[in-house]
Chain A
Amino acid sequence: MQTSTTDPAIISVWRWQWLIALFIVFLVATATLLPRSGSLWASALIVLGLSGVLLVWLWPPTYYRHLRYGVDATGIVIERGVLWRSHIALPRARIQHTDVSQGPLQRRYGVGTLKLYTAGSRHTMIELPGLAHPDAIALRDALLAESTTSGV
């Protein structure tokens, strides 16, 4: 099966998301630790913050490289994970319904997340993030086009 990567714009979305999360954690840590004073704490905070920023800069492209998807006559396969790798294969007959969702950041970069719902008990929702929004819509339509059976 031919697999392809998603839209690289998702890297920026992820960077922003992680940066915001990191910023909040950093604020909380500063607020709780700084009053205890000591230059040791301050320097530890700065080192942690800087390494966090480095990680936020480097991790999304790595994750992006390992996020691939492929569509064939049977259905869709999604590969993800850098250290713990997972391929999930979903026949299109099993798709119950779908969502294409966009957060504010994703709207800014024009990407969307395709969510596929199954009747399963563990993977009831399978996500494919980072598709360009028109591609997500097109993929959804392609997947739903031929599924007519009941799905259980």
Chain B
Amino acid sequence: MASETDFQPELRLHPLSWLFALATFIRQFIVPVIAFMIFGARNDAELWGALILVPLLVGALWQQWLYRYGFGPRGLVIKEGLFFRNLRQIEYPRIENIDVKRGLLHRLLGVAEVSIATSTGGKAEATIRVLSLEATQELRDQVFNRGRPAPTHAAPAAQDEVLLQLPPAELIRYGLIDNRGMIVVAALFGFLYQAGTFEISRQSAAVWFEQSQLSHLAALGIAMQAGLALAGLVTFVLTLRLLSVGFALVTLFDFTLTRHGQDLRVRHGLLTRLALTLRIPRIQSVHQTQSLLHRLFGRVSLRVDLAGDSSSSQDGKQQSQVRTRWLAPICTPMQAKALMAVALPDVDFAGEPNWQPLAPHARQRLFRQSVYFATFVAAAITLALHLLPEAPFEPDARWIVAFLAVMLVLGWWRADLYVKHTRWALTPDAVLFRYGWLTRRLIVTPRNRLQSVQLTASPFDRRHRMANVSVDTAGGSAMSDRIAIRFLPRRIARALALRLYHSHIDRAGR
């Protein structure tokens, strides 16, 4: 911010911005406020509510009055602050994503919330709340045109090319596969708990149980009871899936992926419309996921890691804020292949890569890990049940043997499937890794995106002459998966790490 101190931003927010500032604040306190209003014993609750709102309203209006933004010669300039003034300049070339979010209220009033992110990681650099649609378009055009000089801008390829559009049928499939219904249930539970509903329902349930035919239920016999329990479970699972389908239909409604020059644009949402920009040069790797249910429907999910989305920033609080960057929440494997080629233009996807297996003893080692794990769990359960005074039953030797047998069969099955489906490949321009036993994943990272390469070996690895190779890229959070190949033969691991490290030579020699 050394230069252009004389540039003064002049553009203002939309006149109704205070409404949204107030709304965000209220949303954070909605549950206590409602609880206060409904369950509050005082009958002057409304007065108190108004007393809280007035200073908030004044604050929001004041903030809107002082907020200015403008397109400086080098960057976007934002001036804000009630007491502590802040002048922020974000240089155009550094701006990675401009995400536009429009809730129901936004859409009624024809405005949008815009967040601007750079590659710093974590939280958005600036959130402009709110702008009219014309101002949003203006902002997007100004930033992206100034950020990139002539060639891409002047090119006639600025037409939007639709790459993927998800009809409701696909969204229903996605809802069935994905288990977001759980989130809705969890949110509902949290809300009810906070609102104090449980206390009431527990009392009413107690009354209901007393009066109703619980004695009949007890007389039904074990088969009927088990049947009822099963029916209850099935109903629960079905409800969850239905909720999940509903959730998918609402949040991902009209999912459209388009290409606009060097940008991929994603738009989706029924109530809240989201418009996200993924800049192709910033894509670090592509992840394809295929769970059991995906395979049942013949579909896969595809997402990307963007530079700047990694939450390696020191505060670490913003990790949950990083949203999944979908390329396609659901698509056919053929579509996935085409999309991958678009997202990673540097990688040649023409031929099938030369897939390589793990070390020959990997299966035994995985199985042995399962054996240790099963033994430990069996011992822990047995001990716990014997120590607990009111344990439902005390496992004897037969039980332990049966448990171990089941676990070991599962363990062998897992090891076998994992080793059979885990492969890696090195092409002149990319490193590919697919792994997993039930849920199968594929990660593709272009070799010009590698930050560092690590070769590790634990004492156990060394005993079996094995080693692990992992790569680091600028995208993805520290928690998400990356290419980390375990159980490689030591010599091959060394060679692979060396080739990856010297990637620029391979790429140049092509």
Partners in one complex: yes
Cβ of B149 within 8 Å of any chain A Cβ, yes or no, is no
Asked if B455 and A86 sit within 8 Å, CB to CB, the answer is yes
Partner of A118, one of B451, B455, B458, B475: B451
Cβ of A85 within 8 Å of any chain B Cβ, yes or no, is yes
Instruction: Report the interface size for chain A: residues with CB under 8 A from the other chain.
Output: 24
Partner of A77, one of B475, B482, B501: B501
CB closest residue in chain B, given A88: B454
Instruction: Report the interface size for chain B: residues with CB under 8 A from the other chain.
Output: 32
Count contacts between A and B, CB distance < 8 Å. 86
Cβ of A93 within 8 Å of any chain B Cβ, yes or no, is yes
Which B residues are CB-close (under 8 A) to A85? 456-457, 462
Asked if B501 and A152 sit within 8 Å, CB to CB, the answer is no
Asked if A120 and B473 sit within 8 Å, CB to CB, the answer is yes
Asked if A123 and B456 sit within 8 Å, CB to CB, the answer is no
Partner of A121, one of B453, B476, B498, B503: B476
Known: A121-B475, A152-B282. A74 touches B451 (CB 8 A): no
Complex CA gap A126/B502 in Å reads 18
Cβ of A61 within 8 Å of any chain B Cβ, yes or no, is no
Which A residues are CB-close (under 8 A) to B451? 90, 94, 118-120, 123
Complex CA gap A126/B453 in Å reads 12
Q: Please report which residues of chain B, range 149-164, place their CB below 8 angstroms from some CB of chain A when the two chains form the complex.
A: none
Complex CA gap A91/B307 in Å reads 18
* Interface bits B298-333 vs A (CB < 8 Å: 1, else 0): 000000000100101000000000000000000000
Partner of B472, one of A81, A83, A123: A123
Cβ of B337 within 8 Å of any chain A Cβ, yes or no, is no
Asked if A89 and B453 sit within 8 Å, CB to CB, the answer is yes
Which A residues are CB-close (under 8 A) to B474? 119-121, 152
Interface of B (DSSP majority class): mixed
B65 to chain A, nearest CB (A): 39
Partner of A122, one of B450, B478, B498, B501: B478
Known: A75-B501, A152-B119. A120 touches B455 (CB 8 A): no
Which B residues are CB-close (under 8 A) to A88? 452-455
CB closest residue in chain B, given A126: B452
Q: Which of B312, B501, B502 has the most CB of A within 10 A?
A: B501
Asked if B453 and A122 sit within 8 Å, CB to CB, the answer is no
Which A residues are CB-close (under 8 A) to B476? 121
A73 to chain B, nearest CB (A): 9
Complex CA gap A124/B432 in Å reads 23
Known: A85-B462, A152-B119, A152-B307. A120 touches B452 (CB 8 A): yes
Complex CA gap A118/B307 in Å reads 12
Asked if B454 and A87 sit within 8 Å, CB to CB, the answer is yes
Which B residues are CB-close (under 8 A) to A87? 454-456, 497
Q: Please report which residues of chain B, range 456-510, place their CB below 8 angstroms from some CB of chain A when the two chains form the complex.
A: 456-459, 462, 472-478, 482, 497-498, 500-505
Q: List 10 tightest A-B contacts by C-beta distance, closest first.
A: A121-B310, A120-B451, A120-B472, A89-B501, A87-B455, A119-B474, A89-B453, A86-B456, A90-B452, A118-B451
14 A-B pairs besides A74-B504, A118-B452 with CB distance below 8 A are A83-B458, A87-B497, A89-B497, A89-B501, A91-B450, A91-B452, A91-B501, A91-B504, A120-B451, A120-B452, A122-B472, A122-B482, A123-B452, A123-B454
Supply 11 A–B pairs (Cβ within 8 Å), ascending by A: A84-B457, A87-B455, A87-B456, A88-B453, A88-B455, A91-B452, A91-B503, A93-B504, A119-B451, A123-B451, A152-B307
Which positions in B face A, CB cutoff 8 Å? Answer: 119, 282, 307, 310, 312, 450-459, 462, 472-478, 482, 497-498, 500-505
